[in-house]
């Protein structure tokens, strides 16, 4: 069964209601987190040798053996399968035909919508298929607030907005930063914007921010250097596209306000989260180079880049490099006029 957003929390709260749980999508950190949470809910431990079996690509052939084995110490067993693919379709069909209470959890990042395994499980009433995609906007804010609440930590609204724009798209990296903030705040603490900036520092998506700011002011060397640093840090091309899109949206918002008669300084003050003071000069230089129509076109091109990066088998890193090169060249051309 394909699980939609409305039923997601219910399914994740009770994974034991299913025989197979398929976790697929682009966010590998979120896939791992949800898989581990499900294992703990069933077996009460992530590594109980009697109730939990973990299979990687090299041991997929043991799936039926592990899925039909009995727990020596009692309780329901869990088989966690990493790098799941269509090659597991036949053994899973055989498993579902047998009477077993073992929960099989499949971690399948990148499994396409045309996958035979995915189509089979989405139609089966005893199987749950859950898409795990990078969160953004209000969904990401909700997740951040929820993770902080687990440690009884609160966060001011402006700090939350700034943190949301700063964190990368991978759930594992985001949780790591949240845990750092919780240690910084302490029990029942409250995080201000200054607290978050002091704790996060150069972590998160700073390379992406460097690349976006450098590109829109026409600095080719700085933009390329920051982009390559981001790619070397395993930041996904989709996250890169979204970071550029957020920056361009903010530039466009200010330009639109200026077109409506608001002064540049007042328009910039309306942005939430506010521009970090060390970025103000770069942001202003970009405003001088980009007109409202040019920013609208750049936003459309960035949206097209994100869509292209989501296509299976696309040369996403190459597409990002070409996009940044084109954007930077356009800004540099305006600077020379």
Contact 269, 333 (CB under 8 A): no
In which residue are the tokens 């990078």 written? Answer: 134
Query: What is the H or E stretch that residue 103 is in?
Result: strand 103-109
Mean pLDDT of the region 78-86: 95
Query: Could you tell me which residues come within 8 angstroms of residue 236 by beta carbon, excluding any fewer than 6 positions away?
Result: 26, 134, 169, 170, 309, 316
Work out the average pLDDT over 251-274: 88
Beta-carbon count within 10 A of 58 CB:
8
CA proximity to 118, closest of 97, 142, 88 = 88
pLDDT for 204 equals 44
- Residues 136 and 174: their CA atoms lie apart, in Å, by 12
What is the distance between the alpha carbons of residues 87 and 65, in angstroms, rounded to a whole number? Answer: 16
- Show the CA angle centred on residue 307, arms to residues 301 and 308, nearest 5°: 85
Contact predicate 193/162, CB 8 Å = yes
Find the angle CA(330)-CA(331)-CA(335) to the nearest 5 degrees: 120
* Token digits of residue 163: 């943190």
CA-derived radius of gyration, the chain:
23
Q: Which domains does the chain have, with CATH numbers?
A: 7-131 (3.40.50.300), 137-199 (1.10.8.60), 203-335 (1.20.272.10)
Is the confidence at residue 163, as pLDDT, over 50?
A: yes
User: Tokens 């990401």, residue?
Assistant: 140
CA angle 127, 5, 14 (to 5 degrees): 50
CB 302 within 8 A of CB 312: no
Q: pTM for the complete prediction?
A: 0.59
- Give me the chain's average pLDDT, please: 88
Listed in sequence order, the residues at least 6 apart from 81 whose beta carbon sits closer than 8 Å to its beta carbon are 55, 60, 63, 88, 104, 105, 106, 107
Maximum average pLDDT range among 119-128, 161-170, 212-221 = 119-128
Q: So what's the pLDDT on residue 103? A: 96
**CA torsion through residues 17, 23, 27, 33, sign:** positive
**DSSP assignments along 184-224, one per residue:** HH-TT-EE-HHHHHHHHTT-TTHHHHHHHHHHHTT-HHHHH
Q: Which of 331, 321, 92 is nearest to 227 (CA)?
A: 321
Provide the pLDDT confidence category of residue 169 given band limits of 50, 70 and 90: low
Query: Tokens 């953004």 label which residue?
Result: 136
Res 270 pLDDT > 90:
no
Q: What is the pLDDT of residues 172-194, one digit of tens each?
A: 777 878 888 988 888 778 998 88
202, 178 Cβ separation under 8 angstroms: no
Ranges 36-45, 55-64, 185-194, 293-302: which has the least confidence:
185-194
Q: Is 220 left (phi over 0), alpha (psi -120 to 50) or beta?
A: alpha
Q: Using CA atoms, how far apart are residues 308 and 65, in angstroms rounded to an integer? A: 41
């Amino acid at each position: 069964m394909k699980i939609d957003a409305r039923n997601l929390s219910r399914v994740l709260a009770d994974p034991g209601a299913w025989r197979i749980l398929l976790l697929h999508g682009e966010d590998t950190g979120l896939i791992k987190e949800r898989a581990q949470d499900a294992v703990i809910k069933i077996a009460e431990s992530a590594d109980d040798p009697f109730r939990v079996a973990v299979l990687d690509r090299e041991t997929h052939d043991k799936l039926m053996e592990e899925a039909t084995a009995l727990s020596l110490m009692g309780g329901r067993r869990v088989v966690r399968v990493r790098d799941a693919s269509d090659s597991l379709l036949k053994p899973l069909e055989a498993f579902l035909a047998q009477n077993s209470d073992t929960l099989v959890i499949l971690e399948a990042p990148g499994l396409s919508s045309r996958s035979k395994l995915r189509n089979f499980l989405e139609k089966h009433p005893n199987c749950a298929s859950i898409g795990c995609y990078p969160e953004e906007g209000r969904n990401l804010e909700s997740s951040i607030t929820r993770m902080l609440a687990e440690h009884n930590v609160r966060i001011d609204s402006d700090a939350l907005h700034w943190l949301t724009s700063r964190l990368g798209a991978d759930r594992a990296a985001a949780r790591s930063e949240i845990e750092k903030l919780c240690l910084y705040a302490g029990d029942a603490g409250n995080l201000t914007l200054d607290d978050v900036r002091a704790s996060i520092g150069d972590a998160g998506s700073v390379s992406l921010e460097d690349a976006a700011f450098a590109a829109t002011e026409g600095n080719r060397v700085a933009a390329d250097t920051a982009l390559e640093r981001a790619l070397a840090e395993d930041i996904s091309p989709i996250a890169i596209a979204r970071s550029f899109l957020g920056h361009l949206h903010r530039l466009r918002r200010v330009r639109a306000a200026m077109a409506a008669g608001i002064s540049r300084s007042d328009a910039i003050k309306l942005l939430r989260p506010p521009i970090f003071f060390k970025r103000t000069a770069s942001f202003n230089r970009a405003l001088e180079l980009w007109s409202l129509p040019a920013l609208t076109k750049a936003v459309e091109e960035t949206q097209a880049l994100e869509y292209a990066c989501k296509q299976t088998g696309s040369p996403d890193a190459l597409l990002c490099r070409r996009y940044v090169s084109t954007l930077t060249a356009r800004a540099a051309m305006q600077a020379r006029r």
